[in-house]
Amino acid sequence: MTRRLVQRELTPEGPRHRGGAAPRRRSVTVNLAESPLTWLYARGHLDDRLFIAGERLRADYERAGLSPGVTMRWDVVRIRSTGQRGLNPSERQIAARQRFDGAIAAAGKGLEDILWRVACAGESVPAAERALEWPVRSGKLVLRLALDRVADFYRIS
């Protein structure tokens, strides 16, 4: 069995296929830098308050270093501290972890699953619904409830 190699060339008019019949598939342009929260916000599914709460939760998740990592920290040890700016990276990481844990606890049991999957892990809402074995189109509603509680925790008005 031989396979035909189909190459696509991007032209101003659109993709042009070379080397055989054009495939009958549709192509979709996806912005890989866009998070699921940004996608929901851009399409009007989240208001400003909920979007900011989700982004702040994601920022604390990343600052806390909760995602898997394989690096070592070689920072200089601080001598004295004056406020938040005087914290060394480890202390800032601990503070972010405490904020993250508080926000997840504020979301409540049963709501933290979808909140973490969408806001922190970057899963789409349909993928999170499938992983949690929830009914289709229930994730957005539960996510909005969780983000509302997180916004209250972060005191976002």
Predicted pLDDT of residue 37: 93
Q: If you search the block for the tokens 């994730």, which residue do you land on? A: 139
Q: What is the pLDDT, as a whole number, of residue 67?
A: 74
Contact 103, 155 (CB under 8 A): no
Total domains in the fold of the chain: 1
- Please give the distance of CA 156 from its chain centroid, rounded to a whole number: 19
Q: Is residue 3 part of a domain?
A: no
The answer to whether residue 102 is domain-embedded is yes
pTM comes to: 0.70
Question: What token pair was written down for 7?
Answer: 């190459």
Contact of 149 with 46, CB cutoff 8 Å:
no
Give residue 140's domain range.
43-66+88-157
Q: Give the model's pLDDT for residue 115.
A: 95
Average pLDDT of the residues in 94-120: 94
Percentage, residues of the chain above pLDDT 70: 67
Is 27 a domain residue? no
Residue 9 lies in a domain: no
Cα–Cα distance for residue pair 148/11, rounded to 1 Å: 45
Asked if residue 81 belongs to a domain, the reply is no
* Residue 37 lies inside a defined structural domain of this protein: no
